[in-house]
């Protein structure tokens, strides 16, 4: 299969190199390139979120299947698909910056969200790609796949903020929070090691802060006040101030 990757950043390169390992030919284009000039069996948009609408519009006359890998607000894929009369899909990524290619290769599941039956040819091409890699393809509505990605990172951020918060109590009673966290993880399989072993600093990197803010903005736009997310953000802001104060 000839795969066109729009956006050769962390996600684009990891996706492309992973596809190449399975014998696919991969072509990359970036800002300033003529995306429509590339002939491919499948185009995957891996650009920063703000660039996605522009790229989709540039691909309007592109006849091949197109899927968005970038994190976008719920409803984006459906809106762009309707506006441009395209069989557009959303195929979210769950890659860590430091281990992106390995994460792509080791993922057991590929999520494919689509807004309407017109996207079936794109769904079929994504199924062909991922099933050929031994991955299970899970189909859902594109709004679900878009929100799933944001909530996934919000959940990880919540784990870190929860531990950062209770670490203050641990310190107040003279208990090492990291030692306690390890004991809890070893004692109860329901306890996630993610926040337990990562606390002590604000959640950072590229994706967690960005997706938390995108989720918060979505809530504001829809008139929702998610109390838990507000506390997660507040704890993280306090941790950042604490870091600045100790420099």
Residues 6+ apart with CB under 8 A from 1: 19, 24, 25, 41, 42, 125, 128, 129
Per-residue exposure over 133-159, b if at least 16 CB sit within 10 Å of its own CB, e if not = eebebeeebbbebbbbbbebbbebbbb
Q: Which two tokens stand for residue 191?
A: 């306890």
**Rounded distance between C-alpha atoms, residue 21 and residue 31, angstroms:** 25
Give CA 223 to chain center in angstroms. 24
Catalytic residue among 19, 46, 89, 207: 207
Helices and strands in the chain: count of H runs, count of E runs: 10, 7
Which residues touch 173 (CB under 8 Å, ≥6 apart)?
none
Is residue 43 within 8 A of residue 89, CB to CB? The reply is no
For residues 46 and 56, is the Cβ–Cβ distance under 8 A?
no
Active site annotation includes 89:
no
Catalytic residues, by residue number, are: 207
């Amino acid at each position: 299969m000839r795969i066109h990757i729009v956006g050769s950043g962390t996600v684009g390169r990891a996706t492309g190199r992973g596809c190449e390992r399975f014998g696919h030919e991969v072509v990359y284009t970036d800002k300033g390139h003529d995306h429509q000039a590339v002939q491919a069996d499948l185009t995957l948009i891996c650009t920063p979120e703000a660039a996605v609408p522009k790229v989709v519009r540039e691909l309007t006359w592109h006849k091949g299947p197109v899927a968005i890998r970038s994190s976008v607000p719920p409803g984006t894929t459906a809106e762009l698909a309707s506006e441009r009369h395209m069989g557009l899909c959303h195929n979210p990524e769950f890659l860590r910056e430091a281990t992106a290619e390995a994460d792509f290769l080791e993922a057991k599941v590929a999520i494919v969200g689509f807004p309407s039956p017109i996207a079936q040819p794109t769904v079929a091409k994504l199924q062909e790609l991922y099933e050929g890699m031994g991955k299970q393809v899970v189909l859902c509505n594109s709004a679900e796949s878009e929100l799933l990605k944001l909530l996934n990172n919000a959940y990880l951020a919540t784990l870190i903020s929860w531990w950062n918060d209770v670490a203050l109590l641990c310190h107040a009673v003279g208990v090492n929070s990291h030692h306690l966290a390890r004991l809890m993880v070893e004692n109860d399989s329901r306890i996630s090691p993610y926040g337990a072993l990562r606390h002590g600093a604000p959640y950072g990197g590229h994706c967690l802060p960005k997706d938390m803010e995108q989720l918060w903005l979505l809530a504001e736009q829809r008139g929702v006040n998610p109390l838990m997310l507000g506390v997660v953000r507040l704890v993280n802001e306090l941790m950042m101030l604490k870091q600045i104060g100790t420099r």
